[in-house]
Amino acid sequence: MDIRGDTRLRPRAGYRQPTSEHASRTRHSRRRERRDYRTRPTVTAVVPTLNEAENLPHVLKKLPNGVNELIIVDGHSTDATVAVAKDLRPDARIVLQDRRGKGNALACGFAAARGDIIVALDADGSTDPEEIPSFIAPLIAGADFVKGSRYMKGGGSADITHVRSLGNRALGVSVNLLFGTHYTDLCYGYNAFWRRCLPQLHVDCDGFEVETVINVRAAKAGLEIVEVPSYERDRIHGLSNLSAWRDGRRVLRAILQERFSRLPGPSDDWVPQWAELSGVFARVSVPASNGVDDSARRDVVGSEPSVARALA
Q: What is the spatial distance between Cα 141 and Cα 139, in angstroms, rounded to a whole number?
A: 5
Determine, yes or no, domain membership for 1.
Answer: no
Taking residues 228-245, report their average pLDDT. 78
Domain membership of residue 57 (yes or no) is yes
**What is the C-alpha to C-alpha distance for residues 140 and 166, in angstroms, rounded to an integer?**
33
Round to whole Å and give the CA distance between 309 and 112.
Answer: 17
Q: Which of the pair, 132 or 23, is modelled with greater confidence?
A: 132
Tell me what the pLDDT averaged over the chain comes to.
Answer: 79
Indicate the pairing of strand 69-74 with strand 145-149.
unpaired
Residue 92 lies in a domain: yes
Who has greater pLDDT, 239 or 33?
239
Residue 199 lies in a domain: yes
- How many CB atoms within 10 Å of residue 90? 7
pTM of the model: 0.77
Number of domains making up the chain:
1
3 domain residue, yes or no: no
User: In which band, very low, low, confident or very high, does the pLDDT at 232 lie, cut at 50, 70 and 90?
Assistant: very high
CATH of the domain at 290: 3.90.550.10
Let me know: does 148 contact 227? Beta carbons within 8 Å.
yes
- Residue 143 inside a domain? The answer is yes
Question: Closest Cα to residue 74, out of 89, 53, 88?
Answer: 53
Return d(Cα 125, Cα 55) in angstroms, integer. 6
Tens digit of each residue's pLDDT (9 = 90 or more) over 57-68: 999 999 999 999
Q: Residue 100: which domain range?
A: 8-309
Task: Quickly list DSSP for 224-260.
Answer: -EEEEE-EEPPPSSS-----HHHHHHHHHHHHHHHHT
Segment 132-148, tens digit of pLDDT: 999 999 999 999 999 99
* 2 within some domain: no
Classify residue 79: in a domain, yes or no: yes
